[in-house]
Amino acid sequence: MNDAGKIMQRTDVLAKISDEPGKITRTFASPAMRRANALVGKWMRAAGMKTRVDAIGNLIGHYAGANPDAKILLLGSHLDTVRNAGKFDGPLGVLLAIACVEQLRRRKLRLPFAIEVIGFSDEEGVRYQTAYLGSKVLAGSFNPKDLQRRDASDISMADAIKLFGGDPAKIKSARLNPKNLLGYVEAHIEQGPVLESKNLAVGIVTAIAGQTRARVRFTGRAGHAGTTPMSLRKDALCAAAKFILSAESLARKTPGAVATVGELSVQPGASNVIPGEVGLTLDVRHGSDAVRKSVHVGLKRIAAQIARRRKLRLAVEVVHEVAAVNCSPELSQLLGQSVARRQLKIVRLPSGAGHDAAIMGKIAPAAMLFIRCKNGVSHDPAESVKTQDVKVAFDVMNDFLQSLALKYESLGGKKFAKPPANLVKPIL
């Protein structure tokens, strides 16, 4: 079996580890995540890495460089999933990185820098409604107040971490030292249709859009559906409906912006009762932080107007916010050169989806390689990737590592410069 076939086989095996029978669901600090870490850790050790699990559950495999004092190149992605997920979003990047290290070991090669492969414990933010817990800890941007968050079963994050085997008290010390890092490179399925439309296996990411996630709650008054006149109602669901359509309208009018209401809770939730309270989630994204913030503020203003006109109470809470991040020109150029040796055309495109690279890019130069996925489908069991495309990505990453080794030596072990902020390049 070739390396790409082995990666695909391991993806299938990992997909069987789930918190929900018949589905792929691995949430932060869950029993399934513990089993996933154990299995992937076994594969890391077989590839010649020493493994550790940090205070928040990140799985890290270390492959030493030729010089013990050399800087570290980080590779990887996340091992958690959304509910009822596909099997490639996140894990493919981790398993691809392990295969690259495995090839180095087979060839008995040590690069002038060390490699650490990371399986982040949380990127999706499903359990506690705040994403990137794993990468935020390593980047030193984790908010200790998040330890007080509670999940749907009323388990605090701090208790969940302890049950998992982590240690909330050691989270701060788990931060990586930026001075030791050469960069971070993440391979990931595109989660969009561009590569497929251009009949290309892989592409280079230029930037990752910023995100704002908020909880919005309209509170009116429940009442009997048959006896309360329309003129006297304080229907929270009608207010929420108007707000949802307003979010869609404003995003459509703002080039490059996307706004999504993905969750809705209606109370008391009976067919013959006027909804008295409605909670919803709002997700706003854009490549420009200024535009993203403007859209969010505009929608908050619209929500207030709706509540005021309908005499309802309104609560808006931002639960997650991350700035747009540009990818490293130097690392991306090397990736591009490797891509050019494998396919006729290089496509460069921004990522509307969030990735751990958006967080790691704050402490080290970051780059991303996108891999084509069928119909651009993601966050769904229908996620599909061709073995041949995985082979292309594997060859690109191995070529990139060799090119980076030569570049690193020519720079005398110096770090690459960080890219400027908030500059999203178009698709080429």
Strand blocks (E) in 146-222 = 181-189, 202-208, 210-219
**CB neighbours of residue 38 within 10 Å:** 12
Concatenating the DSSP letter of every residue in 252-315 gives HHSTT-EEE---EEEES--TTEE--EEEEEEEEEESSHHHHHHHHHHHHHHHHHHHHHHT-EEE
Enter the tokens of residue 59.
Answer: 């799985």
Q: Quick check: 422 pLDDT over 50? A: no
Enter the tokens of residue 325.
Answer: 């991040």
Of 250-264, 318-332, 398-412, give the lowest mean pLDDT range: 398-412
Task: Reply yes or no on domain 210-322 having CATH 3.10.590.10.
Answer: no
pLDDT tens digits, 368-393: 999 999 999 999 999 999 999 999 99
CA angle at 76 for the pair 210 and 83, rounded to the nearest 5°: 65
Tell me the average pLDDT across 98-120: 97
Beta strand 202-208 pairing with 258-260? unpaired
pLDDT tens digits, 303-324: 999 999 999 999 999 988 888 8
**CB neighbours of residue 129 within 10 Å:** 16
In the chain, where the domains are located: 3-209+324-410, 210-322
pLDDT band per the 50, 70, 90 thresholds, residue 417: low
β-pair partners for 73: 115, 183
Q: Give the architecture (CATH level 2) of 3-209+324-410.
A: 3-Layer(aba) Sandwich (3.40)
**Reported pTM:** 0.83
Beta strand 202-208 pairing with 264-267? unpaired
Q: For residue 422, what are the contacts with CB-CB under 8 A and spacing of at least 6?
A: 287, 288, 289, 290, 323, 324, 326
CA angle at 189 for the pair 186 and 191, rounded to the nearest 5°: 125
Q: Write the DSSP symbol of residue 230.
A: G
Q: Write the DSSP symbol of residue 328.
A: P
